[in-house]
Structure formats: C-alpha cells, structure tokens
Amino acid sequence: MGEDTEIPLPDKEQNFNDWYNEIILRAELVDLRYGVKGFIVYRPNLATVLKQTYRLFEDALDEHGHSICNFPVVIPLEFFQKEAEHIKGFSGEVFWITKAGDSELDKPLLLRPTSETAMYPLYAYWIRSYRDLPLKLYQSNTVYRYETKATKPLIRGREFYWIEAHDVHRTFEDAVNQVKEDMEITIDVLHNQLGIPFLLMERPSWDRFAGAEHSFAFDVLFPDKEVLQIATTHLLGETFSRAFDIMFEDEDGTKKYGQQTCFGIGISRIAATIISMHGDNYGLIIPFHVAPIQIIIVPIPKKGKSELILEKCEEVYQKLKDKGYRVKLDNSENRPGAKFYHWELLGVPIRLEIGPKDIENGVITTFRRDKRERFQIKESQLIKTIEQLRGEILNELRSRREKDLEENIREAKNKEEFLEIAKNKGGFIKIEFCDGNKCAEVIKEETGGYEVRGKLFGKEEKTMGNCIICGEKAKSIVYVAKAY
C-alpha cells in the first residue's frame, strides 16, 4: 500500500488482455505459481467473491425446492460408459486415474468433468414411485476438464468452480418448467444482484450438451468483444433415465422413465465476468452483493485529534457491522492517499472518510467507487444513504454494461457485411441462417473462430430472406460471436 504500488494499470479498453492479466495479480485475486497448467490458487480477495456468489445461487436453489448434496470427485468407468453420446462429448477432456500408491488400478477412475454419470446411478436406487418426484438436488463443487485450448485464469481452465443441479420430474411438462425456473434463477442473480447483462441463447443442435434434447446458455460480452458462456440449463428428457434405468411407478401403476434436467452455473466464470465487465483503469469495481468488503472506513488524521477521530470511526464501524454490512476500518499507518488507492484497486463499493471537520459538522465524506465521486452525507442519515447507494451503484453498473452490449449487437444483411463486422468490430453478429452445421463450419473457418451461438430465447425473430452463407431459405435468426 505504499507509493511504489501506485502504478497505472494498462488501459482496459485499448488492451483488455494486459489489463486483465495485471489486475488479477495486483488486486491479489489469484496466484499462478502453483506449477500445474490450468490450475490456479484463489486468494482471499477472490475466494470471498466466489463465496458470496455461491450464496446468492444456493439461496435461490434452496428457495425453489432444491436440496444440497455431495458426490465423490471420482467416477467409476462403468458409470461413465453408460451413456454413449455423453462419452463422446467428454472423453477427450477427461483426467484419468490409473494408479494408486504402487499399484495399477484394475479399472481406471476419472475425475468428474460433470456429474451426470456420478449421480444418476444412485438416482435409480432412490426413485421408485411418483411420490419420490420431483427429485431436485445440487452440489457446489469443482470439476476437471483437460482443456486443450490456451488456458486463461478463471475464464478457461482445467479446474473450475461451479454449481450443478440435477433434477428428475414426473412429466415432460414439469421438466420444461424446471428449465424455465433455472433461467429465472440465473436472470435474477445476474441482472438484479450482479448487474451483468447477457444474451440467453438456445444452442444449435450440434452444440448441445452431450445427451441433451435442448440446451440453453447465458452468453456475456467481454471488453475485447469476445463472449463467454457463464451458465447453462439443459432439457435431458429420457436420455439419461433410460441409460441409467431411472424409473418410477406412476399413480396408475404403469412404469415410466423420469424426465430429467441439469443446470450448470459457472462460479469461476461469473467471477471473471465481474472483474472484466465492471472494472476500470483504477482497478476492480465489485457489486455490493458480493464485495468482500462493502464499506471501507478511512480516518483522516490531524495532529492532536487522532483519538477523537478513531473513536468516531469505531462508532460508525460498529453501527454498520451491527446492520450486517461487511465493513472494515483501515487504521493502518499508511497515508490516506495510499489507502484510497489500495481500496479503489480492490473495488470496495463505498468509502467513508472521517476527519475532524466531518465530526465537527456532523457529516461523513462518502466516496462511490463506481462513479469515483466524493460527497458529504449527514451522519444521522448514514444507514439510509448506504441502502440507497447500494441500489444506485448496481443500477449504474448494469446500465453501463447494457449499453455496451446493445452497441455491440450488429446485423449483417449479407456475407460480405458479416465478414467485415467480424474482422473489424467483433461482438455479436445477427444473421439469417439455414440452421446447417456445414454453414456454421464455413463461418468458423472464414472468420478465424466465430461460432453460431444460437437463437435468442424468449424473443421470436422472424426470417425474411435467405441464409447469408449458402443462399438457401433461412430457417432462423441466429447470433454469431467469437468465444473464449
């Protein structure tokens, strides 16, 4: 927190990659020196953001009738092999365990890339009757995938934190409603609590989760105009219940297969999104709901007044702590300017500065990290003002990012226009499309990695012409983007 730390960050808009790599280290979010590619250490500043993000989603899942559970990290080979399409989708990403101590294992085990094949064999034992349904379980855990692309901390790694919910329902309609509930939970947390805008896409058939009938994904736009998938929900139907013999006796005595869904929330990726979307050239800006420290109190010293100032700071600290805020009093010996720099870098939403003049006038000098604005409030209005600010800060962060997203959705009327946008502007490109995988491959090849992300869910967009790639009659409006 000394003067030597006050070095400007790279410009986020001009060089996002350097800014990101610098901020995650300088704000003490991660340590990359663990020595295994794709595996990082989450330091307290980041681990606390993850903890609070987990809490938001777990509370919502609990409120919607889910129960928490914990399954082993290893999956037996015979479990994994039961669903052929699932194996095909994940076999190239699996970490295998073939030896224990000095002995070779009779059968290899794998570290979970996702938990369908770990959980569903047990579901077949637990579910016997329609009275056992719905079964709605989730676990907050880590998963492991041998990522072959270049890794990037939090965004693309080989170990990442997430929540996965796996549900079994009596009817297909119940399963469809569960997918909608998953969407509602995600929309509420991302939009109403984290200020994160997104496009909710139905993935094309060739890009569905392995074994799913329909896949829906939340895509967010990063400052470099690439996109990241941060949550998904999948309608599995009977695919896995048939493979794992998950059956129940219905009310009329008939035997039926369970109708299943699964829901994945990328906690590590949401953390990366918070960092990348809301941060600026001064450091992080953490939304109030998940900030490790929501309010920092900085004494402004004056000779002969130190004891009085500290007493007032401690009084304000206790008042805020009693109200349940995550608040810290910085009574270190660093000068106020160094403290300001440090806590701005770490993205603390609200800073309170208390000096002799503030005490004399019955006010508190307040600083909003999102706007970097300083103003005075009456001490008697402190709690009311904090509650007001937490909402204003969220609205400000969300409106900024919604503006960014809106400005980076462009429509291409033909292939030439599409290629020009892909080359020079990036973001989401809206096109008329034939729904063919061959045309999707052409797009990927000719743009150096742009992918068909899917159709916008919840908004009917009618086609008016032909596919911009093959010229055949368009079947849908799709969004194309370059993804991490």
Q: What is the CATH number of the domain that holds 367?
A: 3.40.50.800
Q: What residues form DSSP beta bridges with 218?
A: 200, 231
Of 130, 89, 91, 108, residue with least CA distance to 239: 89
- Same domain for 269 and 311, yes or no, is no
Angle value at C-alpha 423, between 451 and 217, nearest 5 degrees: 25
Asked whether residue 186 falls in the same domain as residue 45, the answer is yes
Paired with 374 in beta bridges are: 367
Residues 180 and 264 in one domain: yes
Q: Domain check: are 341 and 418 in the same one?
A: no
What single-letter DSSP state applies at residue 300?
-
Alpha carbon of 452 to those of 183, 236, 460: distances in Å? Answer: 21, 22, 17
Q: Looking at the DSSP assignment, which residues form a beta bridge with residue 365?
A: 353, 376
- What gap in Å lies between CA 181 and CA 337, rounded to an integer? 47
Rg (alpha carbons) of the chain, rounded to whole number: 25
Task: Decide if 16 is inside a domain.
Answer: yes
* Residue that has been written with the tokens 């002799």 in this structure: 356
Specify the CATH number for the domain of residue 184. Answer: 3.30.930.10
189/124 same-domain check: yes
Relative to beta strand 428-433, strand 373-378 is unpaired
Which segments in the chain show pLDDT lower than 50?
1-4
Let me know if residue 304 belongs to a domain: yes
CATH of the domain at 453: 3.30.110.30
Residue that is written with structure tokens 């990522």 in the block: 147
Strand order in the sheet with 103-111: 74-76, 103-111, 96-100
Query: Tokens for 440?
Result: 């999707």
236 within 8 A of 213, measured Cβ to Cβ: yes
As a whole number of angstroms, the longest Cα–Cα distance in the chain is 85
Whether residue 361 is found in the same domain as residue 272: no
Residue 3 lies in a domain: no
Same domain, 198 and 299: no
**246 half-sphere exposure, CB direction, 13 A CA radius:** 31
Q: What is the pLDDT of residue 1?
A: 44
State whether 323 and 265 are in the same domain.
no
> Burial code of 267-284, b = ≥16 C-beta within 10 A, e = fewer?
bbbbbbbbbbbbbbebbb
Dihedral angle over CA of 419, 424, 427, 431, nearest 10: -20
89 lies in some domain:
yes
The pLDDT score that the predictor gives to residue 297 is 98
* Final residue belonging to a domain, choices 278, 305, 327: 278
Same domain, 375 and 477: no
Query: Does residue 432 lie within any of the structural domains?
Result: yes
- Give the residue numbers spanning the domain of 462: 410-482
From 278, 306, 322, give the residue that closes a domain. Answer: 278
Total domains in the chain come to: 3
Do 203 and 213 contact (CB within 8 A), yes or no? no
pLDDT digits (tens, 9 = 90+) for 46-56: 999 999 999 99
Q: For residue 1, is it within any domain?
A: no
Q: What per-residue confidence (pLDDT) applies to 87?
A: 73
The verdict on 247 and 357 lying in the same domain is: no
| Tens digit of each residue's pLDDT (9 = 90 or more) over 280-338 | 999 999 999 999 999 999 999 999 899 999 999 999 999 999 999 999 999 999 999 99
Say if 222 falls within a structural domain. Answer: yes
- The verdict on 147 and 30 lying in the same domain is yes
Question: What distance in Å separates the CA atoms of residue 113 and residue 209, rounded to the nearest whole number?
Answer: 12
The tokens describing 290, both together, are 């998940």
What Å distances lie between residue 234 and 173, 179, 180, CA to CA? Answer: 14, 7, 10
Same domain for 90 and 44, yes or no, is: yes
Residue 64 counted as domain residue: yes
What pLDDT score was predicted for residue 5? 55
The pLDDT of residue 151? 76
